[in-house]
Structure 1
Amino acid sequence: MEHAHPPERRAYAFAWAQHRHPEREQATLRVVLGACVLIAYCCYAWLFPSRDASMVARIVALYACYGALTLLVVNRASSPSQTRLVVTTIADQALLGAALAAGGASALPLLWVVFWFLIGSGCRYGKRTLAVSCATAIAVIVALALWQPWWRANRPAALGLALSAIAASVYLGVLVDRLGSANRDLARQASTDPLTGLANRYALKRIVDRAMAASVADTALLLIDLDGFKEVNDTYGHAVGDMLLQQFAQLLARRTHASDAVARLGGDEFVVLAHRVRDRDAVLSITEGIHAALASITSVQERQVSVSASIGACMLSSAAQAGRADMSAVLRAADRAMYRAKRLGIGKTVFAEARDFEAN
């Protein structure tokens, strides 16, 4: 049975994400910038001494300690926590609000920190965390305007700060969307073969590595080499050869399941990582469909062509049993099986054996 899944969509499904630890980055910035703000504000309090300035300096020192505590917790945590993220996001703006409430006019040099928190939340975690930070900031500003003497006497300033926080959050939300879209486009381009729209070798490595790390009992890698492709290139030119590769890529994508990965390694070599194949008979059912698909390609741009495939099949469970749980070993074993298939004649499939996993 054929499944209509465009190769472009298949490549996008396996685009990778960069490995980062934004929570640790944010906690580290709390320590570093918290210490810098503490030093700067202590200088301000020394130049303009007052009881309020002294109180604000103590709260900033408390924030620096809080930053060190969050860094310690994040470094010891085994995984990210959405609850911890929400709590720390609220605590950031709330501690700043405490400083603004304690210092009144003396705390005004800290107003920029409101936007620092908004930028950090939005750029690291996205729009939801940005919304939490913005809502907390607005709540703090409203509380200041209602109960803090200086802010109550200067409510237009509170209104201006609230509107500025909202406007900055809206703008950051739009920017986060655009940056996210640009990053997704770059990831797609880096993981996609430009000619066929299939996943490329780099993306395939990540897919195979994930499969090897998970259950491999029902997964097989098929290495497909097109026989007769060189003759097509030599006879009709590279433009016709490229069209043949594109046509075959589309057929592969249609004849595999949505959960399977289809990739082009380069030249006329393709790979299918097939899931839910319990035994060799299930794999042969897939390869028979691939051979039939190639047999149906008899012309490209009204030029007669004759191509077939030699397929080397490698069950990932065999690789795991051989202790070779990496893509290079799996591809090497499938490649050896594929060359044995070539020697058997046209349109053959050969399975990798234990000896194929031995290093040269």
Structure 2
Amino acid sequence: MAYLILVYKRPAPTRARRGFAILMDNLVGSYIAYFGGAFAAYVGFLFLTTVGWGLRFGRPYLFLATAIAILGMVWNLAASPYWQEHPLFGATIIFGLIANTVNASILLARIAGANGLLAEKIEEVSRLAWQDQLTKLPNRPYFRERLAQMVAAAARNGRQVALLLFDIDGFKAVNDTLGHEAGDRLLQEIAERVGRRVRQADTFARVGGDEFVILMEIARDRSDAVPVAETVVAAIGEIEMFAERGLRVGASVGIACSGPPPFRERIADELLIQADRAMYEAKRAGKGRYKFAGDSG
């Protein structure tokens, strides 16, 4: 065995290596002959299986391997003349097996705890990377990623994507009059109100400042986006947080639809530009309303 490990298929084995391998084989053979084959099996279990494989496959395997090793040692004590003459040595080895198993089990529990903590931290970092910290909505990087995914999926399914972009009419007046803390509370209120009313399949995100987007897949035509736009306008128009100060807010919504496939190469960027233009058309038309990209008047 040692010869195979140290010499076989090695480049240019030296005489010293060959001699050492033969010596190791003779020593191992003498050891097994003197102490008994069951003890050699125990040594293998202890160093290779009980601790090494147990750490890899978990505590159930660790306990099973340890039980097999202990049974082997008990068999030695019952059947081998050497071990019958040295029962205290055998009992010490069994105790060592149990102690090693307990230590390895504790180590496994600590490793599992550390892995759980690491998974929580990774999830937290991922959430922070994709989440707007004020409103807890998805942020702009997440929105861009999701838009690209939805465009690709719509192209495969033969459907269309609608992008609704809106900002808050009257938001600057709230900030200027009551301060940025009031503006932050208003943004959180909008995120909560609109978030309750959008479909779970749609993506609602804050893309910066007082601008929000809703991404949705439409099955028929652009009219599928109208109820969503009307819901946004109504939900924000109902907010009366600062009515006693004479400050009211509303929403102007711009809607851009991808049209039927095949899509152009930069369709995602074009949708955002078109929705932005449509939103400002809605503002010029009197605010508190929605406009489709490409509509005149």
- Taking structure 1 as the reference length, the TM-score comes to 0.58
Matched, 1:164 2:103: yes
State which of 178, 181, 192 in structure 1 corresponds to 2:131. Answer: 192
Secondary structure of the residue aligned to 2:133 is: coil
Identity of aligned residues (%): 32
State the 1:200 CA deviation. Answer: 0.9
In structure 1, distance between residues paired with 2:116 and 2:194: 34
In structure 2, distance between residues paired with 1:176 and 1:225: 42
Pick closer, same or farther for the CA change 1:175–1:287 going to 2, 3 Å. same
State the 1:288 CA deviation. Answer: 0.7
Residue in 1 aligned with 2:277? 336
State the 1:286 CA deviation. Answer: 0.8
Contact persistence 2:131–2:138 (CA under 8 A): yes
Aligned ranges 1:62-77 → 2 under 5 Å: none
Aligned ranges 1:115-264 → 2 under 5 Å: 118=55, 132-147=57-72, 153=90, 154-215=93-154, 217=159, 219-264=161-206
Aligned length: 252
In structure 2, distance between residues paired with 1:281 and 1:265: 24
State which of 221, 230, 235 in structure 2 corresponds to 1:293. Answer: 235
Secondary structure of the residue aligned to 2:252 is: strand
Q: Which has the higher contact order (CA 8 A, sep 6+)?
A: 1
In structure 1, distance between residues paired with 2:27 and 2:167: 75
In structure 1, distance between residues paired with 2:292 and 2:265: 18
In structure 2, distance between residues paired with 1:329 and 1:212: 12
Residue in 1 aligned with 2:87? none
In structure 1, distance between residues paired with 2:60 and 2:152: 41
Write out per-residue CA displacement over residues 235-287 of structure 1, whole angstroms, 9 at most, x where no aligned residue: 32222222221221111111112222211111110011234553222201110
State the 1:322 CA deviation. Answer: 2.3
Matched, 1:114 2:52: yes
Contact persistence 1:53–1:107 (CA under 8 A): no
State the 1:199 CA deviation. Answer: 1.1
Write out per-residue CA displacement over residues 299-335 of structure 1, whole angstroms, 9 at most, x where no aligned residue: 4284232322222222345586223354x44322322
Which aligned runs of 4 or more in structure 1 are off by greater than 3 angstroms?
Answer: 45-49, 52-55, 100-103, 105-108, 110-113, 147-153, 275-278, 316-320
Matched, 1:272 2:214: yes
Pick closer, same or farther for the CA change 1:272–1:147 going to 2, 3 Å. same
Matched, 1:305 2:279: no
Pick closer, same or farther for the CA change 1:148–1:325 going to 2, 3 Å. farther
| Cα RMSD for the two superposed structures | 3.8
Contact persistence 2:233–2:288 (CA under 8 A): yes
In structure 2, distance between residues paired with 1:279 and 1:197: 31
Pick closer, same or farther for the CA change 1:239–1:136 going to 2, 3 Å. same
Structure 1 unmatched ranges of 5 or more: 1-42, 56-99, 122-131, 354-360
Pick closer, same or farther for the CA change 1:331–1:149 going to 2, 3 Å. farther
Pick closer, same or farther for the CA change 1:210–1:133 going to 2, 3 Å. farther
Farther-moved stretch of structure 1 (271-280 vs 304-313): 271-280
Residue in 2 aligned with 1:75? none
In structure 2, distance between residues paired with 1:222 and 1:151: 78
Contact persistence 2:50–2:62 (CA under 8 A): no
Contact persistence 2:46–2:97 (CA under 8 A): no
In structure 2, distance between residues paired with 1:51 and 1:301: 92
Pick closer, same or farther for the CA change 1:318–1:310 going to 2, 3 Å. farther
In structure 2, distance between residues paired with 1:299 and 1:193: 22
Secondary structure of the residue aligned to 2:58 is: helix
In structure 2, distance between residues paired with 1:334 and 1:101: 76
In structure 2, distance between residues paired with 1:208 and 1:340: 23
2:247 maps to a residue whose letter is: V
In structure 1, distance between residues paired with 2:202 and 2:282: 23
Contact persistence 1:336–1:352 (CA under 8 A): yes
Contact persistence 1:52–1:104 (CA under 8 A): no
State which of 50, 71, 79 in structure 1 corresponds to 2:24. Answer: 50
Residue in 2 aligned with 1:28? none
- Taking structure 2 as the reference length, the TM-score comes to 0.69
Aligned ranges 1:91-102 → 2 under 5 Å: none
Pick closer, same or farther for the CA change 1:245–1:261 going to 2, 3 Å. same
